[in-house]
Chain A
Amino acid sequence: MKIVDSMKRAGASLAVIAMAGAVSACATTGSETPRSASANDAVPYASTYRAYPGAPTALVGATVFDGAGGRIENGTVLFENGEIVAVGDAGLAVPAGYTRIDGTGKFVTPGIIDIHSHLGDYPSPSVDAHSDGNEATAPTTPNVWAEHSVWPQDPGFSRALANGGVTALQILPGSANLMGGRSVTLKNVPSRTVQGMKFPGAPYGLKMACGENPKRVYGSRGRIPSTRMGNFAVNRQTWIEAQEYAAGDRKDRDLGKETLAGVLDGDILIHNHCYRADEMALVMDMAKEFGYRVSAFHHAVESYKIGDLLRENDVCSAIWADWWGFKMEAYDGIPENAALLQNAGACVVIHSDDQNGIQRLNQEAAKAQADGRRMGIDISDAEVIRWLTLNPAKAMGIDAMTGSLQSGKMADVVLWNGDPLSVYSRPEKVWIDGALMYDARDPARRPVSDFELGQPGEGDFK
């Protein structure tokens, strides 16, 4: 466990999907360009990612979880040219020229999405020279961008792919600062450059942090903030100045204010590290005060205490299944957090914040589901898969492009060798934009980072 909370650093019905799949002209349905896509392409360091070649593929006979709450037994998933073409039951015809993969006894899900990762910013090996996740030199650093710290050779990306089926992930700055900087959303595709991993059209996020971390880091240096009220004072003053900047002509370049203005414009999404329920309630009021939205509270171990408020404010909770007790503000974490939130009608996302946890997000979700069932809250398997797919995609602003198996969306697909909610199952094949990027049975489809070449364990089954 390298990074405890990074200090150390809506759904289409089955019928609709089947219908959409039957008509290829529907391929663009639901792929509305997100508002921020143009902003992303206009900024420097734009994505150079292009999908790798893939064959037209039919996954046949598997149980399909579509990511949007749907489940199809003996399903068929068709993808071609990087996009989902159709999803349906056994009656869906496989077009000529498709490679047919027998999924009998297996399961298909959309690619898993981790909304909270520090891969690349706190890479392996975890040495001081690699500690690039917290610009802990000022309590607000909205001017820094996580992508400028990402080391694409972090071996952690490949483990997240192979063992976790992770196809997209958001890399966040750490939580030392109240405003830690811009996040970046990546395709989990190896690249020589971070630009080669950037998710085309994904909006930026701004990492914010409540509570213990900022006040401890700066309080210990005898400066504001040293208290939770200090946290709010610095945040509010910063937002006041951001509003003034945003209301002006914005001609004077200011990296931090540009990010904050992007938040006020609704183009940059707020991802707010926050544990305690009372603090989350205050943050939601701060957002109202300054006219922005919180997309997701991260770590949110006490969300279950305010499921109603979170539902009313349409804020997701990105959470672990059952981490608790490692810091004072995590002492009231309970394993039923996800189930209670779901029961309250609030949005649940299972996140990792960890280079090991990202390899087992499916298992974490299964644990949270079982803990709910034991207290009488039954949540279907298909709904639980949404916690790892469409819900994080929504909170990251990429749900029009990925996160569910819907025709026209990116063909980010995992074939599991068994039920993904079982401890015994693993990804067998993972496609990103229709390209086969991992095959458990083929060492040639197993990425090996530069760092690992010529070193003990290179290319091993990890």
Chain B
Amino acid sequence: MSRIKTALLALAASAAMAAPAFAQDFAITNATLATGEVREPIPNANVVVRGGQVVAAGPNVPVPADIRVIDGTGMWVTPGLFSPLTDLGLWDVAAVEESNDRSAGRSPFSAALDFSVAINPANQHILSSRAGGVTRASVIGYPSGSIFAGQGAIIDLGADRDVVTRPRAFQMVAIGETGGRLAGGSRVAAHALLRNALREARDFGARSGIRGGELRPGNVRTGDDLPLDPRVADDATDRGTDVELSRFDAAALVPVVNGSQPLYVQVDRAADILAALALKEEFAALDLVLVGAAEGWMVAERIAAAGVPVIAAALLDLPERFEQLASTQSNIGRMVDAGVTVAIGPFMDMEQPRYAPQYAGNLVGLSRLDGATGLSWGEAFAAITSIPAQISGQGGRSGVLAPGAHGDAVLWDGDPLEISSAPVRVFIDGVEQPLDNHQTRLRERYRDLDESQLPKAYVH
């Protein structure tokens, strides 16, 4: 308790300053190390963090004499989990509409919606996820008024006011059953709407001279690497008469059509996946990421050949929709075997980001069953750390314990993929994080039910 209070006080005193300024230098020693890369865990390893960054991680890493040492004996040390496609910070209570910024079905805007402005770092779901070892995430809401969800952001889950590390990091569009419904009742409409939007954006970008940002990667938030928001560029461009998109939405799609902002495409059916990949024949610069891909295993070679990464649910195995008839828990294993880069996700709504290790662990369990295809331990852990970071443009900086990466380290009381394990300590940018929240406070208040002296309301 006192450790947490101290941390909170320190944070309160320093809220205006950047997190790395408060990073502590430390070494975690003699722990089992999972680096986040595709490799099996390494016993008896050390991790050294200085100035908010990882300096070294491995079995024979020397521990500097002057550094604070955290004994990791009997524990595991890993990078923080990277949660791809979450709605963290966008809602307090899903069914309490006024607390929920995930959908904007009555907005006049679509692709222009920028979710970075609504992410609340004090949100309880962020606090709970942090206690679950999640240190970074990409955040976006749902496609609601249009096939375009809008622009998602990259965040860290540190207990400070600076939650967004990269706004407008990607755009998302739905073109399967959901996209068809939103576009006017048919996949045909979704495809027409998408193509027209990209065409208008290309045309608008060319006429207005909007560059639409720098190319990936290089997406560290140092200030000058962040592209200007093309939506607010002043211009007097004549857009012609055949215009379906508002100027704001068209400007937002300029970086997409230029390939400088990735386009996440929600598709599940094998045929829809191929239709999504085919978009690159018409718009060659598109930087695609598939989201969903429940039937991805059926066209895995084609996805691999296209070099398009996938964010897929680990355990979907029911034909919950007609576009998911062939869903199986072996989907990710089969895609990985075919050479596809796959992260486990999304983590929206009831899918809490801190469930990621359980899902990854299930895929390891699956690999031990004849006839099923799962992942090795190293592959599974990478699918919730380095791979989602890489897909999110944060490769090498997040989701790994490697020199130069963010000092995001999690110390676990056991194998992180085992459901009985949990984080003991969490560091983000080298700063030790408080792990308490509304739920832990309730737990302590109701540890016993004794009200003989005063009501529970006085226990705090």
Chain A interface (Cβ within 8 Å of chain B)? 1-2, 4, 124-127, 155-156, 159, 163, 212, 304-308, 322-328, 330-336, 340, 344, 355-356, 359-360, 363, 366-367, 369-371, 373-375, 417-418, 421-426, 440-441, 443, 451-452, 455-457, 460-462
B125 within 8 A of A: yes
Q: List 8 A-B contacts (CB under 8 A).
A: A4-B350, A327-B94, A367-B419, A375-B447, A422-B420, A424-B361, A455-B325, A456-B295
Q: Which 5 A-B pairs have the closest CB atoms?
A: A457-B326, A423-B361, A456-B326, A327-B95, A370-B420
Which residues, 91 to 146 on B, are CB-close (under 8 Å) to A? 92-96, 124-125
- Looking at the complex, which of B13-21, B235-243, B311-319 is the stretch in contact with chain A? B311-319
Output the least CB separation between A165 and chain B (Å).
Answer: 13
Output the least CB separation between A116 and chain B (Å).
Answer: 15
Report the bound CA distance from A333 to B352 in whole Å. 14
Q: A159-B317, A163-B317, A326-B95 are in contact. Are A369 and B124 (CB under 8 A)?
A: no
Output the least CB separation between A127 and chain B (Å).
Answer: 8
Nearest residue, chain B, Cβ from A336: B443
Cβ 8 A contact of A426, one of B358, B369, B449: B369
Please give, as numbers and ranges, the residues of chain B lying within 8 Å of A2 by CB-CB distance.
320
Output the least CB separation between A457 and chain B (Å).
Answer: 3
Report the bound CA distance from A126 to B325 in whole Å. 12
Q: Which of A325, A330, A333 has the most CB of B within 10 A?
A: A325
- Beta-carbon contact of A334 and B326 below 8 Å: no
Which residues, 430 to 446 on B, are CB-close (under 8 Å) to A? 438-440, 442-443, 446
Cβ 8 A contact of B446, one of A322, A324, A340: A340
For the complex with contacts A359-B317, A460-B330, 14 further pairs of A-B residues with Cβ separation under 8 Å are A1-B350, A4-B350, A305-B446, A325-B125, A328-B93, A328-B95, A330-B93, A332-B438, A356-B316, A360-B315, A370-B419, A456-B325, A457-B327, A461-B371
Cβ 8 A contact of B351, one of A1, A163, A451, A455: A1
Which residues, 356 to 384 on B, are CB-close (under 8 Å) to A? 358, 361-362, 364-366, 368-373
Report the bound CA distance from A443 to B372 in whole Å. 11
Output the least CB separation between B161 and chain A (Å).
Answer: 22
- Beta-carbon contact of B439 and A335 below 8 Å: yes
- Beta-carbon contact of A369 and B420 below 8 Å: yes
Q: What total of A-B pairs shows CB separation below 8 Å? A: 160
Cβ 8 A contact of A326, one of B94, B362, B420: B94
SS class, residues of chain B in contact with chain A: loop
Output the least CB separation between A296 and chain B (Å).
Answer: 20
- Beta-carbon contact of B319 and A423 below 8 Å: no
- Beta-carbon contact of B270 and A456 below 8 Å: yes
- Beta-carbon contact of A326 and B350 below 8 Å: yes
B349 within 8 A of A: yes
Report the bound CA distance from A53 to B125 in whole Å. 50
Which residues, 45 to 74 on B, are CB-close (under 8 Å) to A? none
- Beta-carbon contact of A308 and B449 below 8 Å: yes
Report the bound CA distance from A426 to B371 in whole Å. 13
- Beta-carbon contact of B96 and A328 below 8 Å: yes
Report the bound CA distance from A366 to B421 in whole Å. 10
B322 within 8 A of A: yes
Output the least CB separation between A153 and chain B (Å).
Answer: 11
B422 within 8 A of A: yes
- Beta-carbon contact of A323 and B350 below 8 Å: yes
Chain B interface (Cβ within 8 Å of chain A)? 92-96, 124-125, 270, 295, 298, 315-322, 324-330, 349-352, 358, 361-362, 364-366, 368-373, 417-422, 438-440, 442-443, 446-447, 449, 456
Please give, as numbers and ranges, the residues of chain B lying within 8 Å of A212 by CB-CB distance.
95
Please give, as numbers and ranges, the residues of chain B lying within 8 Å of A335 by CB-CB distance.
439
Q: A126-B320, A332-B442, A423-B365 are in contact. Are A440 and B419 (CB under 8 A)?
A: no
Q: Which of B96, B420, B439, B440 has the most CB of A within 10 A?
A: B420
- Beta-carbon contact of A366 and B419 below 8 Å: yes
Q: A126-B321, A336-B443, A375-B447 are in contact. Are A421 and B330 (CB under 8 A)?
A: no
- Beta-carbon contact of A325 and B318 below 8 Å: no
Report the bound CA distance from A457 to B320 in whole Å. 13
Report the bound CA distance from A155 to B422 in whole Å. 34
Q: A126-B320, A326-B93 are in contact. Are A422 and B330 (CB under 8 A)?
A: no
Output the least CB separation between A357 and chain B (Å).
Answer: 9
Cβ 8 A contact of B364, one of A124, A374, A424, A462: A424
- Beta-carbon contact of A440 and B370 below 8 Å: yes
Output the least CB separation between A158 and chain B (Å).
Answer: 9
Please give, as numbers and ranges, the residues of chain B lying within 8 Å of A451 by CB-CB distance.
319
- Beta-carbon contact of A326 and B125 below 8 Å: no
Nearest residue, chain A, Cβ from B321: A125
Nearest residue, chain B, Cβ from A355: B318
Output the least CB separation between B372 and chain A (Å).
Answer: 4
Please give, as numbers and ranges, the residues of chain B lying within 8 Å of A324 by CB-CB distance.
439
